[in-house]
Amino acid sequence: MKTKILFFLLLGIFTGAQTNRFFYEYKFIPDSNNKEDVKKEMMLLDINKSGSAYYSHDKFVADSTSRADLQKQINSGSGNISINKRERPGQVSYKVTKSYPEFKTYLFTNISTDKYKILEDKKPEWKILPDKQKIGEYNAQKAVTSYGGREWTAWFSSDIPFQDGPYKFYGLPGLIVKLEDSTGSHIMTLVGNKTISTPAEENEAQLPDNVRILGMGTKELEITKDQYKKVWKAYVNDPTKNMREMMMKSGGDSNTKMVFKMKTQDGKELSDPNQVFKEMEKRTKESLQKNNNPIEPDLTK
């Protein structure tokens, strides 16, 4: 009886402009050489009648706060705009959307200051196994798949009648309530859910015509997975290339003044572009070395 009640409750969500929000605790190991360093992030899977979106709760809050603060400064008309980026605006920067009923799947991610929208060209091919167990309060069944360069085990629950799940995973006869790769590097576990009003589209602040902010006001460039791999390799080989090109272009425009500033780890402020780029390259390469265990290795090969 409990299952039937839940089934009709969830179906009832779609009669109005409402969304079922599922909360997943995401545990991951960024550095395969340091398996004791396990990170945690609360991820959201929002499901409504048109599709789903999977993204970081912390990043969503940080981005919303930054947008509101920027718009407030613009509306004040003071002419001064200050952008203060938070040190930890969420550790997971990507977002995955799926549109129903065909489950057309996109990955939204950034490389440096450029935004990309990557169409997924493969769907998970599942093998459903007879194993069953309780995951939290849900009766779940086991399924396995090879996807994105990893071997995955999923536990899905037919108690929740959505054929969806975290990240790019879907296609099982029930919601995926736990997902884990064979190395234990990436684990997503459902920890709660609630019904909310369908969130409105988050629009970026409308910048004045004479103001440009890196990473803002630009739309995602839609590319294929193969194209993304090429862009990623180019970035790894030369992390500051697009920043240098941007500076060179602005140098020929008398109406544009581009200022590069950053602080070293010991607090020293750098303003000379060459020093800034050198420090940026150093930090990027250090970061890449420590983040060598991505959720989808095939994308960065």
* 195-233 tens-digit pLDDT: 998 766 655 545 455 444 544 556 889 999 999 999 999
pLDDT number for residue 144? 98
Q: What is the mean pLDDT of residues 32-52?
A: 96
pLDDT number for residue 282? 83
End-to-end CA distance of the chain: 49
Distance of CA 85 to the CA centre of its chain: 17
pLDDT number for residue 262? 59
- The better pLDDT of the pair 276, 259 is held by 276
- The better pLDDT of the pair 90, 255 is held by 90
Contact 215, 110 (CB under 8 A): yes
Which one, of 5, 44, 14, 11, lies nearest residue 190 by Cα? 44
* pLDDT above 90 (res 70): no
pTM over 0.95? The answer is no
In this structure, the dihedral spanned by the alpha carbons of residues 112, 118, 122 and 123, taken in order and rounded to 10 degrees, is 100
pLDDT number for residue 195? 94
Q: Residue 128 — very low, low, confident or very high, per pLDDT cuts 50/70/90?
A: very high
Mean pLDDT of all residues belonging to the chain: 81
pLDDT number for residue 218? 67
Selection from 4-8, 42-46, 62-66, 83-87 with the highest mean pLDDT: 42-46
Q: What are the chain's domains?
A: 2-223 (2.50.20)
Give pLDDT tens digits for 164-201. Answer: 999 999 999 999 999 999 999 999 999 999 999 876 66
* pLDDT above 60 (res 71): no
* pLDDT above 70 (res 134): yes
Strand order in the sheet with 95-99: 127-135, 138-147, 150-157, 175-181, 186-197, 18-28, 39-48, 51-56, 95-99, 104-111, 114-119, 221-223
* pLDDT above 80 (res 142): yes
Q: Give CA–CA dist 49/175, Å, rounded.
A: 15
